[in-house]
Structure 1
Amino acid sequence: MTQHPVETSFWHRLLDTKLTRRSAVGSAAVAAAAVTLPVTLSDAQAQANNGGAVSPTGQAAAPRSFPPFRMIEPTTADTITLPAGYRFQVLAPWGEKFTDDGRTIGFNHDFVGFFPIDLLEGGRSSTEALLTINHEYVNPLFVGGNTKERTAQQIRAEMQDVGVSVVRVRREAGTWKVVPDPRNRRIDAFTDVELTGPVRGSAVVKGATTVKGTVGNCSGGQTPWGTLLTCEENVDGYQKAWEGSGYEAMHQGWVTEIDPFDPAWTPKKRTGMGRFRHENAAVVLAKDGRVVAYMGDDMQDACIYKFVSRGKYDPKNRAAARDLLADGDLYVANFGNGTWVLLDYDRNKKLQDARNGDKPLFTSQAEVLADARAAALAVGGTPVDRPEDIEVHPRNGDVYAALTNNSKHGNFFGQIIKWTEAGSDPGALKFLWGVFAYGGPQSGFASPDNLVFDAYGNLWMVTDNSDLGTNPIKAYHGNNAMFFFPTEGPNAGKAYRFAVGPVEAEMTGPVFSPDGRTLFLAIQHPGEDSPSLDQLTSTFAAAPGTKIPRPTLVAIEGFPGWRA
């Protein structure tokens, strides 16, 4: 998610090039019984888009033109700064034990999924849930205190600190708590994960059908049937970082589906969704019931994609729904003519004709998917400015994408774009797009990153200015922040600053509880640029008796909740 070189950080020097803090995906060529989900199609759509954020009536509430808070000013304070009337609580910080076998919460929290504990019975509990927390990467200085001569033991600890945590939480007496549950668990770099789709068993993965681990877990998405899609973003650099561990880069860089409710269900890498620097997967339903997932490739001059399942979602058959993402079509966006271009070797002759000199770029669909970025550019996909999170408006179906920035072309501030699919159908192959909001001093924000809609259709956005250094942007922006945008009315596209994060931290993975009263937000890499344990730049969320800053989840309260 963050993208810049840091001279003091071993990890980022190792995983990066001049362009990026963590290396890009290379351009080298016992299942549960069916569970009935008594929810409507619209309910499922809203839950998938926004982690369950729907009004008490089950429908998206009426829009608001003004934020429910008084906008705050920029700051560089080493805390979370909020408007009057709002408060935050540290929840599930790195290193906290939460399983019966002594596993601890992983490092560098990112995407957060909110799965109401009663979801499979059609409920929308806002006080008890299974949370899924992505852990994107580690900082060896904090994890092992050693950035140079790292031991095999330290490398193993790093491999255990990435992946995903599944954590049961409950709100009791005004406080959120992590509570015991047999479903509490870690999925890390050692976990068995099944490959599905065209790459399974192919030469691309040397015949593998099961691989080890999920890593580089950036943003993600939730499905209408109650599973997590965790997105593997920056994965190739681990090959050198974890030398001797058996790590295979080609086994990573996919979208991995995990069922938080069913520990016995083996996680699945959905290779049909392509291999690239996956930022997110925003899941919605086409008008005919097919499943659609919008995805960004977080890299300068990379593309935006859409996966469309071949099968249709049946809310009464969860077992079948868990197989829907194994089979489908991958498309790339061409913003020049507003079309989605099919990335299928057998059905798109451009892929068959694509060559590197006298050598074909691809000879099979498995090769196309394994190097989806090269395939996208070969068929006319439009390179854009670091496409990060993509989310779908719960009221009208418009799709919003954060384009963080692109210093190669002088776009230092970034922007948020949106598009409308033909007929407002996510399954359509044509769209009309425009810019929703520009970053810069005039708007007060820069480098938009993760997005989330509330039940009214207002947009909330967090920034990723971790690569600013001495850039003058910081003079008006302060620390990374969270902003509110009305999407309708006279103030549509206007940014209102809601929260400011700690020193050198990103705020990531925002998700609301279904009643709108709690916002869960991940605090990633506070004190990231600390030169040593004796020269810490942040102490945010440090454990009692220590000063080392900890990535953590926070629960922010003070919201009035949704009103229909």
Structure 2
Amino acid sequence: MLGHTRGKRSAVTCALKCDNACSKAVCNTSANHYFRDIVSAEFSRRTALGVGAAGALGAAVLALGGAAPATAAPAGPGGGRGPRKSLGFAPIAPVDAAVDSFDVPAGYEWEPLLRWGDPLFADSPEFNFRDQNAAAQARQFGYNNDYLEILRQPNGKKGLLVCNHEYVNPEIMFPAAPASAAEEAERRAIFRNAVGMSVVELERSSRGTPWNYVRGARLNRRITLDTVFELTGPAAGTELLKTAADPEGRFVLGTLGNCAGGSTPWGTVLSGEENFNGFFRADGTSAEDKRYGLDSAATAMGWEQEDPRFDARTPETRNEPNRFGYIVELDPEDPESVPRKHTSLGRFKHEGANVIIARNGKAVAYSGDDERFDYLYKFVSKNKYRKNDKRHNMTLLAEGDLYVARFAGNSPAAEIDGTGAVPADGGFDGRGTWLPLVVRGKSAIPGMSVAEVLVYTRLAADKAGATKMDRCEDVEPSLATGRVYVACTNNSNRGVGASAAADEVNPRRENRDGHIVEIIEDRDDATATSFRWNLLMLCGDPAQGDATYFSGYPRELVSPISCPDNLAFDSAGNLWISTDGAPSGIGYNDGLFKVALAGRDRGKVEQFLSVPRDGETCGPVIHDEESMVFVAVQHPGEDGSYGAHTSFFPDYVPDGAVPAAGEVRAPRPAVVQVYREDANPGRPGHKGRGKKGSR
């Protein structure tokens, strides 16, 4: 990946997380282009039900049986009333990418809640860098925590954390050279047990104080590659999902590449299987393999050496990759439950999925396909949500209609020149259509069966004529307004060579910094097949001359922001954005940012925290009514090597202190809680802005 990365994005991340996707041929070679339509974009009202996102409203109901309806704010040019309340803080300045620190605003403290290797069960061994083994890792907190949910009971003293573990960083977990082939095989087994998901009980003294995790709690659970998953939906049991190990095509071992997710109104948690392709060695010659980035090269992880299902070049295993790339549903309240993979939501590189309940009672799930020039999707359930009927509601994602988005802009073609210059009408906006892929149980794509559409969803969306996007990552519906926000993180290939040119919904060539799309469904109806859209922002750093746009807010007054990834909302309806790639790629650490969506401050960006060197900000959860914020920090110090680490997050020694003799100093991915200094006096948290970690 050297020469292909931008900003502070590391070649290490590219190799381990997405199999160097940006250095390879673009998977989407369809002729789909931008469909221009001259329209006038108007704003509308909308009422939404349900729990859509980590940190939105779902965190308020660990009663977990149902959710109260959210009240829609009257909409105006700013998209609703101004915030009723908000988390108060003075924005921090960007932190140089060479600095190894976790920074929060003055008046706040931070501390790790869970770290890679923390023991989850009564019989789990303590983590020991020098004595890692696969059996221990299966009973410890996993690596590279991404999606995060913090559910709370009504009394505020008990909670439940759910987290994804996306992939591993071998170079900073172990010395470079294993002593033997047996040791190398053991390391690979450790890596397999370090991915998946974790469910962990939390407790604290009172509402608003920081949490502690409960070792050995009844609900604690690790989901690994040995966990049994049930396939649901029309593709389950079909020939495309059968293998020699599973001749019925109905059960799968494990989940892979789990990135973002979402919580449901009925109290379950969703997880998106994203970059699964890099774990499989396949034939790589078919159109289906090429469209999903599967090839015949040996994988970076080498799991095919011990587990034949990761070598899909045989008739017995060729369908194994078809069994990954779905939305996973987990009931965190039942540690004995079998998690499910829902084929009805399609197979692609799901960043995550977020559900709201439409006015007619149907569950609507939005999901993005996180790859250059891939698409935005929507699922509408066949059946309706029933309050306090969790068993029924857990079937809603198994059957329904699947759509893919096509966008049209309202500006003359000459005004969309790839520079990011704002059109003459003052904004980027237009209309869109949800194109049917599966409707009422039938395929809407000629020549493809329902099972083929759901297993080879990218090919079906190509044929439907969807709009190529700049890497749709998190897609979150707002409970305050019902509007849907899409984080397009970046696309360095936009407008390069024969690649798709800039268009109004992706208006910059070589889109380094990404942007946010705002969608307003027609008739205030989440099940509608048409919508209005506009761009909330074109990210970047105005001080560096980047072409930016913040919904008309003065660009010189915003915090620089780049590569939006995960999204969340606070109780006041503000959008929170975590980044992966560093603000405008000019040498800042990634961070978490608050963005106003309403009134005169619409588009105002304020940086709340900054994560350590080489790290990525993931899974934000905003409990602003308690002045608490949570983030998951992935791959801190990933550009280092064992014994020459570039980060020591989160276990910094005090300034001037000397590490204990024989202590292994290395970074550990961790979930961090941020709280006000006065929330728990005397607790040994790290102070706010200006407190640096010591090496």
What TM-score, normalized by structure 1, do the two folds share? 0.85
The reply on whether 1:233 has 2:274 as its aligned counterpart is yes
Deviations 1:429-472 (A, max 9, x none): 11000000111112511111111111111111011116x9xxxx
Gaps of 5+ in 1: 28-40, 119-123, 354-361
Give 1:334-353 correspondences, 5 Å limit. 334-336=406-408, 338-344=432-438, 351-353=445-447
Tell me which residue corresponds to 1:139.
169
Letter in 2 for 1:310: K
Give 1:29-108 correspondences, 5 Å limit. 44-45=50-51, 50-52=56-58, 63-64=82-83, 68-76=88-96, 77-102=99-124, 103-108=139-144
Letter in 2 for 1:231: G
Aligned-partner Cα distance in 2 for 1:138–1:282: 25
Contact kept, 8 Å, 1:127 with 1:171, in 2: the verdict is: yes
Tell me which residue corresponds to 1:406.
491
Letter in 1 for 2:140: T
Change (3 A) 1:512 1:423: same
Tell me which residue corresponds to 1:357.
none
The partner residue of 2:675 within 552, 557, 561 is: 557
The DSSP-based 3-state class of the residue aligned with 2:377 is strand
The partner residue of 1:196 within 213, 216, 232 is: 232
The partner residue of 1:176 within 205, 211, 217 is: 211
Letter in 2 for 1:128: K
Tell me which residue corresponds to 1:35.
none
Change (3 A) 1:344 1:147: farther
The reply on whether 1:257 has 2:345 as its aligned counterpart is no
Alpha-carbon offset, residue 44 of structure 1: 3.8
Tell me which residue corresponds to 1:491.
601
Deviations 1:457-498 (A, max 9, x none): 1111011116x9xxxx343x6100111111001110121111
Letter in 2 for 1:481: G
The partner residue of 1:323 within 384, 389, 395 is: 395
The reply on whether 1:370 has 2:455 as its aligned counterpart is yes
Contact kept, 8 Å, 1:49 with 1:282, in 2: the verdict is: no
Letter in 2 for 1:82: V
Alpha-carbon offset, residue 26 of structure 1: 13
Alpha-carbon offset, residue 42 of structure 1: 6.9
The DSSP-based 3-state class of the residue aligned with 1:141 is helix
Aligned-partner Cα distance in 2 for 1:49–1:311: 27
Alpha-carbon offset, residue 334 of structure 1: 0.9
The DSSP-based 3-state class of the residue aligned with 1:490 is helix
Tell me which residue corresponds to 1:464.
580
Alpha-carbon offset, residue 84 of structure 1: 0.7
Change (3 A) 1:227 1:10: closer
Percent identity among equivalent residues?
A: 36
The reply on whether 1:214 has 2:299 as its aligned counterpart is no
Aligned-partner Cα distance in 1 for 2:140–2:405: 40
Letter in 2 for 1:413: D
Alpha-carbon offset, residue 144 of structure 1: 4.0
The DSSP-based 3-state class of the residue aligned with 1:154 is helix
The reply on whether 1:547 has 2:569 as its aligned counterpart is no
The reply on whether 1:305 has 2:372 as its aligned counterpart is no
- Greater radius of gyration (CA): 2
The partner residue of 1:519 within 629, 639, 642 is: 629
Aligned-partner Cα distance in 2 for 1:464–1:7: 11
Deviations 1:488-536 (A, max 9, x none): 0111012111111100101100113484432111011101111x21221
Structure 1 outlier segments of 4+, above 3 Å: 3-11, 23-27, 41-49, 57-63, 124-127, 142-150, 345-350, 513-516, 542-545
Deviates more, 1:208-217 or 1:174-183: 174-183
The DSSP-based 3-state class of the residue aligned with 2:240 is helix
Contact kept, 8 Å, 1:350 with 1:378, in 2: the verdict is: no
Aligned-partner Cα distance in 1 for 2:460–2:619: 29
Aligned-partner Cα distance in 1 for 2:232–2:16: 33
Aligned-partner Cα distance in 1 for 2:358–2:647: 45
The reply on whether 1:161 has 2:194 as its aligned counterpart is yes
Gaps of 5+ in 2: 31-46, 62-67, 74-80, 125-138, 243-247, 281-298, 311-319, 409-430, 495-509, 543-557, 653-659, 680-695
Alpha-carbon offset, residue 196 of structure 1: 0.6
The reply on whether 1:429 has 2:532 as its aligned counterpart is no
The partner residue of 1:538 within 639, 644, 647 is: 647
Contact kept, 8 Å, 1:517 with 1:559, in 2: the verdict is: no
The DSSP-based 3-state class of the residue aligned with 2:619 is strand
Contact kept, 8 Å, 2:648 with 2:665, in 1: the verdict is: yes
Letter in 1 for 2:455: A
Aligned-partner Cα distance in 2 for 1:459–1:499: 15
The DSSP-based 3-state class of the residue aligned with 1:301 is coil
Contact kept, 8 Å, 1:517 with 1:558, in 2: the verdict is: yes
Contact kept, 8 Å, 2:362 with 2:382, in 1: the verdict is: yes
Contact kept, 8 Å, 2:48 with 2:480, in 1: the verdict is: no
Letter in 1 for 2:189: R
The reply on whether 1:12 has 2:15 as its aligned counterpart is yes
Change (3 A) 1:10 1:262: closer
Deviates more, 1:303-312 or 1:542-551: 542-551
Change (3 A) 1:398 1:421: same
Deviations 1:369-401 (A, max 9, x none): 111112112101111101111111221101011
Aligned-partner Cα distance in 2 for 1:349–1:250: 19
Alpha-carbon offset, residue 126 of structure 1: 3.6
Letter in 2 for 1:389: D
The DSSP-based 3-state class of the residue aligned with 1:367 is helix
The partner residue of 2:591 within 478, 481, 501 is: 481
Aligned-partner Cα distance in 1 for 2:326–2:566: 19
Alpha-carbon offset, residue 152 of structure 1: 2.1
Letter in 2 for 1:435: L
The reply on whether 1:506 has 2:616 as its aligned counterpart is yes
Letter in 1 for 2:632: A
What TM-score, normalized by structure 2, do the two folds share? 0.70
Contact kept, 8 Å, 1:141 with 1:533, in 2: the verdict is: yes
Alpha-carbon offset, residue 349 of structure 1: 7.5
The CA RMSD measured in Å over matched residues stands at 3.1
Alpha-carbon offset, residue 213 of structure 1: 0.2
The DSSP-based 3-state class of the residue aligned with 1:155 is helix
Deviations 1:346-371 (A, max 9, x none): 98876224xxxxxxxx3x21111111
Contact kept, 8 Å, 1:285 with 1:291, in 2: the verdict is: yes
Contact kept, 8 Å, 1:24 with 1:236, in 2: the verdict is: no
Change (3 A) 1:481 1:514: closer
Contact kept, 8 Å, 1:52 with 1:513, in 2: the verdict is: no
The DSSP-based 3-state class of the residue aligned with 1:437 is strand
Structure number with higher strand proportion: 1
The DSSP-based 3-state class of the residue aligned with 1:226 is coil
Aligned-partner Cα distance in 1 for 2:677–2:56: 16
Change (3 A) 1:43 1:373: closer
Contact kept, 8 Å, 1:135 with 1:163, in 2: the verdict is: yes
Deviations 1:151-179 (A, max 9, x none): 22111111111010000111237442111
Change (3 A) 1:48 1:502: closer
Aligned-partner Cα distance in 2 for 1:130–1:365: 37
The DSSP-based 3-state class of the residue aligned with 2:373 is strand
The DSSP-based 3-state class of the residue aligned with 1:407 is coil
Change (3 A) 1:9 1:399: closer
Deviations 1:522-554 (A, max 9, x none): 011101111x21221111124983311000000
